[in-house]
Amino acid sequence: MKLQRLLGMTRRAIDDYQMINEGDKIAVGISGGKDSLTLLYALSGLRRFYPKKFSIEAITVDLGYKESDYSAIARLCQELDVHYTVVETDIAQILFEERKEKNPCSLCAKLRKGAFNNKAKELACNKKAYAHHFDDVIETMLMSLFYEGRFHCFSPVTYLDRSDITLIRPLIYVEEEDVIDFKNSHNLPVVKNPCPVDGYTKREDTKQLISKLQAENKGLRERLFNAIKEGNIPGW
């Protein structure tokens, strides 16, 4: 995937849902995975010519795994002229040593979001950007349908009143296969997720189900996405 195409798809989502306003300072969540690094590239490129001027801060919440090394990401941020902050935490110790959580994902997400939001506010950011892409959208909708019994999905733009910050998702039109292609063509410095439960989740099960159904029904993924856009889900 060429950078120009990535920028075009990202800008279309931003324009469609009015994600960015003049003077915004956006905290970009950098997990170290392919999605967040692609988002970093996209917003870094867009700020150079987007008509509404904005700035970005890259933030990584370090969960406390000893094997995590973010030095390559720090170098990339320097190349892109983006200020980079790593927030040190003991989340891994809390989850697996102190609480011994068997299903740690929910608590982990809550702790990570709290640490991220605190740093974003400290850096005077009024918005934060997550790297949820096209595939994340349809997977989330199906998970809500299967496990909660409701037709729902996260919104492209969400105001979080507790933290007084607006969450945006600029990659919602970018498919995962395009993210993978961009990662490979630009040699993104991906940091492997050291979490012991990575890949063993309901989301992974849903991803595999969609892949199987897509192979049997061409265009299924696009129809699912369109159902979300046209289904009167708040924010869409």
Distance CA(191)–CA(188), nearest Å, equals 9
State which amino acid sits at residue 208: Q
Chain centre distance of CA 223: 22
At 138 the three-state DSSP class reads helix
**Element holding 38 (H helix, E strand):** helix 34-46
- What is the pLDDT at residue 194? 76
Q: Which residues contact 155 (CB under 8 A, 6 or more apart)?
A: 169, 233, 234, 235, 236
Question: Domains of the chain by range and CATH?
Answer: 3-136+154-194 (3.40.50.620)
Within the chain, which residues score under 70 in pLDDT?
100-102, 197-200
- In order, the DSSP letters of 71-105 are HHHHHHHHHHT-EEEEEE--HHHIIIIIS--SS-H
**Element holding 55 (H helix, E strand):** strand 55-62
- What is the pLDDT at residue 199? 59
Tell me the per-residue pLDDT of 64-99, one tens digit each, with 9 for 90 and over.
Answer: 887 789 999 999 999 999 999 999 998 888 877 777
Reference 229, options 147, 135, 137, 149; nearest CA is 137
- What is the pLDDT at residue 172? 98
Specify the pTM.
0.93
Tell me the per-residue pLDDT of 24-57, one tens digit each, with 9 for 90 and over.
Answer: 999 999 999 999 999 999 999 999 999 999 999 9
HSE-up (13 A, CA, CB side) for residue 93: 6
Query: Hey, what are 13's tokens?
Result: 């989502």
Reference 173, options 188, 156, 190; nearest CA is 156
- What is the pLDDT at residue 200? 59
- What is the pLDDT at residue 198? 66
